[in-house]
Amino acid sequence: MGHELSAVVLEADSASGLVAGDGVYVMPYLSCGKCVACRQGKTNCCVNIKVLGVHQDGAMTKYLSVPSQFVHKAEGVTLDQAAMLEFLAIGAHAVRRADVRQGQRVLVVGAGPIGMAAMIFASLRGRRVVYLDTRADRLSFCTSHLTIETAVVVGPDDAARLASLTDNEFFDVVFDATGNIDAMNRGFGFIAHGGKSSALQN
């Protein structure tokens, strides 16, 4: 709870570069900076990680005190937009790591916020994105609010539909944004020969 957050600074130490009244977003993954993962720059894999709203109380509170290295000025975005940076960043990072390229076909499994972020950033690279979810309401939200045309509802004929959308070749890149082990295992079956998959972790 309170895992995606923006805020207004009330008080900050002078070394932080922040002043009272600054609009900010807060990185909710409080990493230790010392462990084996942190030393390699993979702070999201920190072995001592404390996640706001998961391991400790999040932003469902009036005041929150966090180390200043996790607080960033929300410049050029509103506070509502800043609160969405966390899940959008996960999608952006995944698309960058997957090295999605021109002409590739992309499948996003799971049309929650992180799946939507992956769709947004994959389609910004001009890729053809298809998404798959169990919930028709989520799929229709994506088709009406994002510039993504092709949705497939999970069901007995979903694999046949995905095959027909790709000339029976399936996808160059598959993103799993469900966290569900069965969905992840199934996703491997939708990868074209020579393609790759990526499981997204919130």
- DSSP notation for the chain: ---S-EEE-S---GGGT--TT-EEEE--EE--SSSHHHHTT-GGG-TT-EEBTTTB--SSSS-----GGGEEE--SS-HHHHTTHHHHHHHHHHHHHHT--TT-EEEEE--SHHHHHHHHHHHHTT-EEEEEES-HHHHHHHHHHSS--EEEE-STTHHHHHHHHTTT--EEEEEE-S--HHHHHHHHTTEEEEEEEEE---
Shortest approach of Zn ion to residue 70 CB, angstroms?
13
Shortest approach of Zn ion to residue 26 CB, angstroms?
18
Nearer to Zn ion by Cβ, of 45 and 146: the residue is 45
Dihedral sign of CA atoms 77, 79, 81, 82 in order: positive
The residue number with the shortest CB distance to Zn ion is: 46
Nearer to Zn ion by Cβ, of 37 and 89: the residue is 37
Binding interface with Zn ion (CB under 5 A): 31-32, 35, 38, 46
Shortest approach of Zn ion to residue 38 CB, angstroms?
3
Shortest approach of Zn ion to residue 11 CB, angstroms?
27
Nearer to Zn ion by Cβ, of 19 and 32: the residue is 32
Nearer to Zn ion by Cβ, of 48 and 147: the residue is 48
Shortest approach of Zn ion to residue 46 CB, angstroms?
3
Nearer to Zn ion by Cβ, of 38 and 52: the residue is 38
Nearer to Zn ion by Cβ, of 32 and 124: the residue is 32
User: β-strands 105-109, 171-176: how paired?
Assistant: parallel
Residues 105 and 191: their CA atoms lie apart, in Å, by 10
Shortest approach of Zn ion to residue 34 CB, angstroms?
6
